[in-house]
Homo-oligomer: A and B are copies of this chain.
Amino acid sequence: MQVQAIELQKRIDRFQELCRTRGVRLTPQRLEVFRAVAASSAHPDAEMVLRGVQKRFPNVSLDTVYRTLWMLNDLGLVGTLGRRDSVRFDAESRPHHHYVCRRCQRVWDLMEHNPTAFAPPGEATKLGTIQEVRLEVQGVCTDCEKTDKAKRPPSKAARTKTTRTPS
C-alpha cells in the first residue's frame, strides 16, 4: 500500500508549487500531512493520517490534520470518500445516480439510464463480490450559482437537540 517514491515526489512538487501559486503558507506540518496522504494508497481517515504524521512530528494535533486535509481538498489535491456531514437516505428503488450540490447539499436523482455506467469495472470483480455500484456527480446547482456564496444553515447548534422537555 505504498506509493512509489518518484510518484510521491511528483505529488509533493505539485503541492509546493500550488502553495506558491495560491499564496498558501507552506509549513512543515502541512507538508507532512500531505506527504502522509500522498504516500498512502490506503485512503486513510484523519486519525490514520495523524498517526503517519506523528512519526516525524510527534506533537501535531488532530485538528491541524483536519484543517490541512480540508485545505488540500479545497486546493484540489486530495479527494474524499464520504461526506463530512450526516448520512442521507433515499428509497428510490430503480437504479439511479446522484447529483449533489456542494453548497446547499441537496441531492437529485439522475434517472437517465446509461447501462454501462452501472456495469462494475472488471477490475473490481477480482477484488471481491459486488453488492452495489454508485455514481455521484458533484458540483454547484444553478440555484446556488445564482445566489453565489454558500448559505450554510445557521449552525444547527441553535436548535434544541430534540423535543426534550418542551415546556
Whether B133 lies near A134 (C-beta < 8 A) is: no
Given A79-B132, A137-B121, A163-B59, A90–B127 Cβ distance below 8 Å? no
| CB interface residues, A 58-80, toward B, < 8 Å | 58-59, 61-62, 69, 72-73, 77-80
Given A127-B99, A128-B99, A163-B54, A91–B139 Cβ distance below 8 Å? no
Whether B123 lies near A88 (C-beta < 8 A) is: no
- Of chain B, the residue at the smallest CB distance from A62 is B162
| CB interface residues, A 6-40, toward B, < 8 Å | 11, 14, 34, 37-38
Q: How far is the CA of A116 from the CA of B77 in the complex (A)?
A: 24
Q: How far is the CA of A109 from the CA of B162 in the complex (A)?
A: 40
* Across-interface contacts of A134 in B (CB, < 8 A): 79, 135-138
Q: How far is the CA of A106 from the CA of B72 in the complex (A)?
A: 22
Interface of A is mostly: mixed
CB distance from A158 to the nearest CB of B (A): 13
> A129: CB under 8 A from chain B?
yes
Q: How far is the CA of A90 from the CA of B84 in the complex (A)?
A: 15
Whether A42 lies near B107 (C-beta < 8 A) is: yes
Q: Please pick, from B11, B86, B87, B91, the residue contacting A11 in the complex, using a CB distance under 8 A.
A: B91
Q: How far is the CA of A142 from the CA of B124 in the complex (A)?
A: 11
* Across-interface contacts of A34 in B (CB, < 8 A): 91
Whether A82 lies near B79 (C-beta < 8 A) is: no
Whether A89 lies near B84 (C-beta < 8 A) is: no
> A150: CB under 8 A from chain B?
no
7 closest residue pairs by CB, A with B: A128-B141, A82-B83, A43-B107, A38-B91, A45-B86, A81-B88, A112-B123
